Amino acid sequence: MRVEHVSKKFRLYKERNQSLKSAVMRRRTSVYEDFWALDDIDLEILKGETFGLVGDNGSGKSTLLKCMAKILYPDRGVIRTEGRIAALLEVGTGFHPELSGRENIYLNGSILGMTRKEIDSRFDEIVDFSGVREFIDQPVKNYSSGMYVRLGFSVAIHVDPDVLLVDEVLAVGDESFQEKCADKFRELKRAGKTVIIVSHSLETVEKMCDRLAWIQNSKLMMVGKPATVVKAYRRGPHR
């Protein structure tokens, strides 16, 4: 994956007209300013690499991950990817709360590009990994956040992606599930898959990743070996 001089902006409204009528009554347009969530990010992530993104809240990590997943699109620059991408960016992304776990496996799997036949063949593996078999025919609106993320993560990794994007999944779930996730990441690495992780757990990414990128205030501060980047981040300007 190649991230080439990517920038992404959002409009922050100070005063916003909610309708044409309000615009006419107030006799002025909405007032906003541009906020650059990403500013000229340029990096390359190698095939088969486990790559981590670290930084403070609001630094731009999750925005970059969403651009990689093509949920958001850069205002400048381009992201070049190859192969199938699966993303787990938020708890229950792609789930319909009124549908059962079983139905959501098929819904979420199809959103991620799996055929019905592929989902059929991997259904038991998905359920077993998630550990929610007892509740698989219950509406997911009744699931705990941990059950949500376990099922969502299980679907994403069984898509057999070439690139897996993960945002803070290891922060949810008990210790045994987190270890199961770590084992799966190692399995994906052995299979030559690329895994990109956003996490605030420096110990986790330092142990799991081949390289880290530190993003601070929308800018790329450094890319390098995990221990080197973590050390720099801990003594960085945000401290």
Give the pLDDT band of residue 56 (cuts 50, 70, 90).
Answer: very high
* Sign of the torsion angle spanned by Cα atoms 68, 71, 75, 81: positive
pLDDT the model gives residue 8: 96
Burial (CB count <10 Å: 0-12, 13-18, 19+), residue 38: buried
pLDDT the model gives residue 51: 96
Greater confidence (33 vs 62) lies with 62
Distance, in Å, from the CA atom of 165 to the CA atom of 156, rounded to the nearest integer, reads 9
* Sign of the torsion angle spanned by Cα atoms 99, 100, 101, 105: negative
Per DSSP, the three-state class of 22 is: helix
Residue 7, pLDDT > 60, answer yes
Distance, in Å, from the CA atom of 62 to the CA atom of 90, rounded to the nearest integer, reads 10
Distance, in Å, from the CA atom of 10 to the CA atom of 215, rounded to the nearest integer, reads 18
Bridge-based pairing state of the strands 50-54 and 211-216: parallel
Residue 18, pLDDT > 60, answer no
Q: Which residues pair with 191 in a beta bridge?
A: none
Which CATH class name applies to 2-83+162-234? alpha beta
**Phi and psi torsions of 198, nearest 5°:** -105, 130
Residues of the chain with CATH 3.40.50.300: 2-83+162-234
The count of C-alpha atoms lying within 13 angstroms of the C-alpha of 16, restricted to the half-sphere facing its C-beta, is 7
Q: Work out the average pLDDT over 6-23.
A: 70
Token reading at 63: 């925005």
Give the pLDDT band of residue 23 (cuts 50, 70, 90).
Answer: low
Q: Work out the average pLDDT over 3-18.
A: 79
Q: Work out the average pLDDT over 49-64.
A: 93
Express each pLDDT in 94-109 by its tens digit: 788 999 999 999 998 8
Give the pLDDT band of residue 92 (cuts 50, 70, 90).
Answer: low
